[in-house]
Every structure is written in structure tokens, then in C-alpha cells.
Structure 1
């Protein structure tokens, strides 16, 4: 467990899914929250819910489309000014559109690639600029178990973006090794959320709350790479690295 209490936490993509789930758990823990997403109406509803969960916390919300890269820097800096500091930034915004390569869905695959990777670079840049200025902070990137190997069909580009996120985060971690700034990458296994609500048969699927509790537990430890929930993914990710392609085909 980290000895540093990260009181002011920014979460992108906070209006639904894992972002919303993490916000609820952090509210219960008494943390102040800076929440951004495209859907402001949902953020307003969530803000009211969080303030009911814990009236003693500060909840700030802002509209943000992470694909508007200039806006990412503006919004992050506004949150920093309003809260005084940002102690942790969770780069969570993402999407899962797409289809097998060469089947006419380049536009959807491109959209996923930009949102999940290029826009994550913008979020990391904005966060780490603030952390460097503060000489403190914790950058958290939400990758995926799919980062470990290639996946087929709708997950092909998605998995590639998550592998890129893991690599990007490790590079940042190396860069910041001799500073007080921490960098953690979380690799969730199959967690039920809006991004995958239409997916039916997936092994080891857990509900959003169970998944988010595992994510928060890993984030609080501030380790480098975490695979969650620990059972079975802490072990299964190692098997996946050496598994034959025929075995991987059954997972997606």
C-alpha cells in the first residue's frame, strides 16, 4: 500500500463503466474527484449521487472529448487550479469499436486507435506536465488483459491500442524513475461494462463493482503493472504470453 494519500483524483471517461465505478468507490473512501467525459448530463447525475454517498468531498465535473487534444490540456489545468493540486490522474477514457481488418470497418478501427492511444498520449502529457511542476503525482493508465497478445475480430485494434498503452506507460515509468512521480498500469480482465455489454460468452467475466474494487486495490498499491482481478489474471496473463494462437482464438 502506498504511504502517500492521493486526495485529489482526476478520472477521464467518468460518466459510465469503469470510470463511474471507480468514482463511486473513491467517494466512499473520502477522496475529492475531478471527473470529465463527453456526456455532461451523466456527469451531473453522477456528481449528485457521489455527494449523497459522501457530502464531505469535493466533486468537480467538466465536459471533455479526449479526442480534442487541446481541450485535454485546458481541462486538466483547470482542474488543477480549482483543486490546488492533482494527486492522481486515471487515464481511463476509451472505446471498443471495430471489426476484423480488411472487412470494411477502417473508420471504426481508426476511431478506436485514436481514442485509445493518441488521445491517451495527450492525457499522459497533460498529467505529467502538472506532476513535474508539482514534483509529485501518480499517473494511472487503464490498459487491458488483451495487451498481452493479439486478439481477433472486434478486439484486433483494441488489443493493439492497449499493448501500446502498456508500452507507453513503461517508457514514462523509466523516464520518471528517479522522481517522486509514480506510474501504474492496470490490466483489467473481462469486466462487464457499457463497452462490452453486447458480448455474451467470455471466460471469467465479473460484474462492474467487483472489477472496480480490484482495480482500486491495485491502484492504491501503486505498483508498475497489475492484472486484475488477481484471480485468474495474475497467473493467466503469463500463460497467455506463451499460448498457441488456437487457444487465444477461443478467448475472443
Structure 2
């Protein structure tokens, strides 16, 4: 028996995962998945009451991991620095950042209220940058890590009437590409997860015209996306698109841009 014990690999220590926008949808599903895997999870969002519900759900399921809620706004750089400091005080390291917080907007670029466009830019671009700037020093001190940035099929294939949202997700890919070179020596991997329509609160919270847009395009569950995040942490790809239909959309949008532009103008208009 002692011989076999020597052959067994040591138990994998729990990772410390920091997730933004974790009060609902993809972030919530990811928090519960990582807690089910035995990891320690720090979750952030502006709605503290919704974060508390995630903790209660984990306790109800008796998940082996720990979920630590931190009320914070990704658009506030000081709040994100404080949130990471609180996570470090609780868990003493940081291994993974899931930059998930984001909002959508649908409507003409010229006619939309500037407040809506600014909210998208501050959340989807500034929020990602603030999260990364807060998390990377902690990852460096921990010996490395992995950043997963949640993007959209409308990043590589921008859509009419979704110009600001598309631009914000295209910026995600640019940030990731730059960061891979900057953080390689720190042993920090960077993955962009390209996501199609997901059945979550995202569409209902979209600024401008709410609701699902492409009614004939299939949706996936937040749990499916959470599983993709877990796969990305294992495989460490540069970019990962979960479904074949979304990969087909991106392929067609890059090779037949005129056709896809006309289709998207009809769908989003």
C-alpha cells in the first residue's frame, strides 16, 4: 500500500479564481463551477445582494470550494485594487482572473445617448483594464497565472447598430494580444473566449433596445460558457470559440464581410 501511495501524484492545491461580473449569468455559473471543483473563488459585482445569493447557492449545494463576495465596480480603478487586496487577504494568492463583467448596447451610433455609449466603453474596456492592472501584480507574486477575457462573436465580426459594443469586444482581442507578449516572462497566459448568444440577463440589461436580437440563432446556457472557461484554463489557447456555429459565423464574417454586414444590418436594425 505504501508503494502505491508513493506513485500517486500530490493533490492539486485549490486555485484562487477572481471573477468580475459574477452576480448573474456567465460569472455566476463560473463561480459555482469552480467552487464545485474545489477552488477558492473571489466574486465581484456592483450588486452585493446578488453576490450573497451566489454564496448561499454554493452553501446549499455544499460545494467543496469557497466563494468570497466583494462588492465592487469594475469602472472604478481604486475599487478593483481594493477588491484584489481583499481577495489576497482572504486566500493569500491569485491564480486566475476571469474578466467577465460587461454590458451591451443596441442602436444607431450617432443617435444613441452618449451616456449609453460611455457606459459600454467604461465597463467593457476600462473595466477590463482596471481588472487586469489590479490582478497582474498579485499573479506575479504568486508565480504566474491565467487571464481569461470574455469576448463576443461581434468582436471579430462587428455588427451594424452594435458599433460601440463590437468595438469594445474588438479591443479585448487587441489587449490580449499585447498582454501575451508583456506577461510571457511572468508565466501569465492570456485567453480570449469568444461567446455567442447566451441565455442570461445580458439581453434584458442591454442599453438601447433590450431583448434577444437574433431569434433564430441558438442560445447556450451560462453553464456551457463556464465549462469553456474551465477548458481554457487547462488548454491555455490564445483564442477559443465554444460552438461550431459561432466559429462558422466568424469564418463567414471574415471571408464574406459584405454579405454578413447586410445580414447583421437587417437583424440588428
Give 1:140's aligned residue: 148
Question: Unpaired segments of 5 or more residues in structure 1?
Answer: none
- Whether the aligned pair in 2 keeps the contact of 1:127 and 1:139 (CA below 8 Å) is no
The separation in 2 between residues aligned to 1:172 and 1:183, in whole angstroms, is 7
Say how many residue pairs are matched: 247
The separation in 2 between residues aligned to 1:59 and 1:244, in whole angstroms, is 43
Q: Does 1:160 align with 2:174?
A: no
Give 1:116's aligned residue: 124
* Alignment partner of 1:191 out of 187, 190, 198: 198
What's the CA shift string for 1:10-43, capped at 9, x where partnerless?
Answer: 1010000110111122222221110110111111
Deviation at 1:104, TM superposition (A): 3.7
Name whichever of 102-111 and 33-42 sits farther off: 102-111
The separation in 1 between residues aligned to 2:109 and 2:99, in whole angstroms, is 27
- Whether the aligned pair in 2 keeps the contact of 1:176 and 1:182 (CA below 8 Å) is yes
Change (3 A) 1:42 1:149: same
Change (3 A) 1:220 1:140: same
What's the CA shift string for 1:214-237, capped at 9, x where partnerless?
Answer: 3432343221111123x2223432
Deviation at 1:202, TM superposition (A): 4.7
Give 2:58's aligned residue: 50
Deviation at 1:6, TM superposition (A): 6.2
Structural mapping, 1:197-208, within 5 Å = 197=204, 198-200=211-213, 201-208=215-222
Give 1:173's aligned residue: 180
The separation in 2 between residues aligned to 1:43 and 1:205, in whole angstroms, is 25
What's the CA shift string for 1:161-208, capped at 9, x where partnerless?
Answer: 000011101100111223321111111111121111411515232233
Structural mapping, 1:83-122, within 5 Å = 83-122=91-130
- The root-mean-square deviation of aligned C-alpha atoms, in Å, is 1.9
Post-superposition, which runs of at least 4 consecutive aligned residues in structure 1 deviate over 4 A? none
- Whether the aligned pair in 2 keeps the contact of 1:98 and 1:108 (CA below 8 Å) is no
Question: Unpaired segments of 5 or more residues in structure 2?
Answer: 1-11, 205-210
- Whether the aligned pair in 2 keeps the contact of 1:30 and 1:54 (CA below 8 Å) is no
- Whether the aligned pair in 2 keeps the contact of 1:145 and 1:237 (CA below 8 Å) is yes
- Whether the aligned pair in 2 keeps the contact of 1:15 and 1:46 (CA below 8 Å) is yes
Secondary structure of the residue aligned to 2:184 is coil
* Alignment partner of 1:78 out of 83, 86, 100: 86
Change (3 A) 1:121 1:92: same
Please report the TM-score for the alignment, with normalisation by the length of structure 2: 0.85
* Alignment partner of 1:223 out of 208, 223, 237: 237
Deviation at 1:137, TM superposition (A): 1.1
Name whichever of 190-199 and 109-118 sits farther off: 190-199
- Whether the aligned pair in 2 keeps the contact of 1:12 and 1:35 (CA below 8 Å) is yes
* Alignment partner of 1:20 out of 28, 49, 58: 28
Task: Determine which structure has more spread, i.e. the larger CA radius of gyration.
Answer: 2
- Whether the aligned pair in 2 keeps the contact of 1:227 and 1:237 (CA below 8 Å) is no
